[in-house]
Structure 1
Amino acid sequence: MSPSSSSSSSSSYTHHSPLPTADGPYILGVDEAGRGPVLGPLVYGVAYCPLSYKDDLDNLGFADSKTLTPEVRNELINTLNSDPTNLAWSVRVISPQDISSGMLRKNPTNLNQQSQQATITLIREVLDKGIQLAEVYVDALGTIDKYQQYLSSTFPTIPSITVATKADSKYKIVGAASIAAKVTRDRCLDDWAFEELPEPVASTEEEATGEEEEKEEKEEEEEGESGPRYRWNTEYGSGYPSDPNTKAWLKASLEPTFGFPSIARFSWTTVKVIMEKDGHAVQWFDEGQASLIRAFDSAKGRERDRSHVANDLCLRSVGDL
C-alpha cells in the first residue's frame, strides 16, 4: 500500500517499498503526479524490476495513470506490491509548503529544479540500497536532450538513461512509477492532516448566542485527551485550478489576514490573485537606513558615529585613549 500522509502533510518525505531480492541488473522508471495543481503535494515516483522481468511487466496492465480510473489505479498499486521479490517502488512527496518556499525565496528554486532534485534523490537512494541499474527511463522535463545529458553525467555508472515525452505510455516501468506517484498523491489529499484550526464564525446574533452555545457544548463533550475536534471542508476536488470544486474550496477557505491552510501552494498565481483581491492589505513599515542615519546625525562631538544601543543605555564618553 502507499504511505500514510496523516502525519506528514506539511513536510516533504521519501517512502520506499521493501527491497526486491531478485538478481539484477534492474530497469527503473520515473514519473510524477501533481505538477499543475494549486492544492496538495507534488509526488515523484520510481518503480524498478529486474531486466529479466521485463516481459512479465508488460502483462501487468501498467499505463499512464491519468488514463485510468481510481479503482484501476488502486488495483495496480496492489499489483505493484504483489511480487516483492521482483517489483519495488519509491516516492518522494514534496509538500506544498516546500514547493512555495522554494519558489518564493530570494534565489528561487523553480518547479523544474525541485523536480530534478526529487528525481536524483530517488535514483541515488535506490543505487545506495545496492540495486544495480542497467536502464533508466524518465518522463520528459524541460529540454529532453539537455536533461538526459544532465542525468547521464550525474549517474555515470548507469549504462543507459532515456528521457522521453509521454514515457508513462511508452514504457511499462514508467507507467508503474506513474501509478505509485498518482495513488500516493490522491491518498495525501484524502488523508490531509490540517495543522490550522478553523474558528467557527456565527452568521447572526442568534447563532452567536443560541446555536453557537450548543455547538460549543457539543465540542466540549467531544473533546478528549487529544484536544477539541475541528473539521475543514475536504471537498476540494482534484486540486487543479480549473476544477469547479477546487475553485469553490479556494473561495470558501480564504482567511483574509492569514491566507489559506498549508495545503495550498502560495507560490501559485491562482492563490496570489485571490489573496490580492479578497485578502487584507498589509503595509510594512521599515524605517531601516533612514532612522539609523538620523540617529547618528543627531549626535555631537564624541557621541557622533556611536551605536544607538550605547545611546539607549545612556553611555557617554569620558575621555580619549
Structure 2
Amino acid sequence: MIAKSDRDELLLGIDEAGRGPVIGPMVIAGFAIPESRLTELEELGVKDSKKLSPKKRNEIGSALRAMNGVMIDEEIVFPMEIDLAVTNRSVTLNGLEISKMAAIIDKIQADAAYIDLIGASEEKFIKSISRLVSKLPRMVCKHKADSTYLVTAAASIIAKTRRDSEIEKICERFMDRYGPLGSGYPSDAVTVSFLKSAYMEDGIFRKTWSSYKRVVNSMN
C-alpha cells in the first residue's frame, strides 16, 4: 500500500504504444492529474486504450488533451533511434524506453507514478529509472497497469492516439505510391505487402526487425 499525504497529490501514469510494429514510431506518453480529479477520468470513460474502439479512443484522447490543470508529455521515438538502440547492446530497446520514461518523470515531477512495467522485476525496473531521474516519485510499476490504474489508462490513450496520428502521416505520404500499410505489425498481410513495395524508403521502417530483414532478403 502506498502511503498518501494529506494534500492533493499529482499522480502520473506512463504507458507506451507501438513497441512491436515494424512500421512507424513508438510513443511513450505521460499523463498527470491531481488525485482529487480521478473521477473526471472515470466520467470520460477512460480505460486501457486496447479496450476502446478507434472512434471512442480518439474522442477520449481529444477530451484528455483539452482538460485544464493536467500535464501531458509525449516522447516520440522514431525507427532510426529504435534501430540504434537495438544494435547497441549497452542501450537496448528496454533501456531506450526506460530513458524516455525517466525523461517524462523529470519533466512532470509528480508525487507518484503508475507505470506499465518493462521486464519481469519491478525492483530492477525502479532501480533503472532511479539512476536517470533527479527526483524519484513513489513508484507503482505493474504489468497491465493500464488495465488497473486510471492515470496509466489515460497515458495509454494519449500514446496510442499519438502513434495513430504518426501512422496517418505515413499513410498520407506513401499510400498513393505503395497502397495501404495495414496495422504495422508483421503478422498483417497488408503490412507485409506494403513492406515489400516500400522497403527501400528511409525513416519509416525498423530495419533491425527480423520481419524487415526477411522481406529485404526475399527481394534480393
What is the TM-score when the length of structure 2 is the normalising length?
0.87
In the TM superposition, what is the alpha-carbon distance from 1:47 to its structure 2 partner? 0.4
Q: Alpha carbons of 1:141 and 1:157: their partners in 2 closer, same or farther (altered >3 Å)?
A: same
- Asked if structure 1 preserves the Cα contact closer than 8 Å seen for 2:32 and 2:108, the reply is no
* TM-superposition CA deviations, 1:49-91 (whole Å, max 9, x none): 1122123333321111111111011111121023222x23111
Would the alpha carbon gap of residues 94 and 156 (structure 1) be closer, same or farther in structure 2, given more than 3 Å must change?
A: closer
* Corresponding residue number in structure 1 for 2:17: 33
1:97 equivalent to 2:75? Answer no
Tell me if the contact between 1:38 and 1:240 (Cα under 8 Å) persists in the aligned partners.
yes
Indicate the residue corresponding to 1:139 in structure 2: 116
Q: Does 1:276 align with 2:217?
A: yes
1:112 is matched with 94
Once the two structures are TM-superposed, the CA of residue 116 in structure 1 deviates from its matched residue by 0.5
CA RMSD of aligned residues (A): 2.4
Higher-helix-fraction structure: 2
Please list, as runs of the form range in 1=range in 2, the aligned pairs for 1:221-236 lying within 5 A after superposition: 231-236=176-181
CA contact (8 A) 2:171 2:181 kept: no
Q: In the alignment, is the contact (CA less than 8 A) between 1:266 and 1:272 conserved in 2?
A: yes
Residue 237, structure 1, aligned to residue 182, structure 2: yes
Alignment partner of 1:27: what SS? strand
Gaps of 5+ in 1: 1-22, 128-132, 199-229, 280-321
Structure 2: which 5+ residue stretches go unaligned? 1-6
Which residue of the partner structure matches residue 4 of structure 2? none
Deviations 1:276-320 (A, max 9, x none): 2323xxxxxxxxxxxxxxxxxxxxxxxxxxxxxxxxxxxxxxxxx
What is the CA deviation profile of residues 137-171 of structure 1, one whole-angstrom value per residue up to 9, with x for unaligned ones? Answer: 00010122211233356557445201001000100
- Change in 2 beyond 3 A, CA 1:123/1:74: same
Distance in 1, Cα, partners of 2:9 & 2:132? 19
2:46 maps to what in 1? 62
The alpha-carbon deviation at position 108 of structure 1 amounts to 5.3
The residue aligned with 1:246 is 191
After superposition, the Cα gap between the structure-2 partners of 1:231 and 1:261, relative to the gap in structure 1 and judged at 3 Å, is: farther
| 1:1-321 aligned within 5 A | 25-85=9-69, 87-105=70-88, 107=89, 109-127=91-109, 133-143=110-120, 144-152=122-130, 154-155=132-133, 157-192=135-170, 231-254=176-199, 259-279=200-220
Equivalence for 2:3: none
Q: Distance in 1 between matches of 2:137 and 2:197?
A: 52
1:216 match: none
Q: For the Cα contact (< 8 Å) 2:116–2:143, is it kept in 1?
A: yes
Distance, in Å, in 2 between the alignment partners of 1:162 and 1:181 is 19
CA contact (8 A) 1:194 1:261 kept: no
SS at match of 1:266: coil
- Do 1:46 and 1:122's aligned partners in 2 also have CA atoms closer than 8 Å? yes
AA aligned to 2:205 is: A
Is the 2:181–2:194 Cα contact (8 Å) retained in structure 1? yes
* Cα drift, residue 119 of structure 1: 0.5
Aligned-partner SS, 2:104: helix
Higher relative contact order (CA 8 A, sep 6+): 2
How far off is 1:96 after superposition? Answer: 0.7
- 1:5-62 deviations in Å (ceiling 9; x for gaps): xxxxxxxxxxxxxxxxxx9530000000001000000100110011221233333211
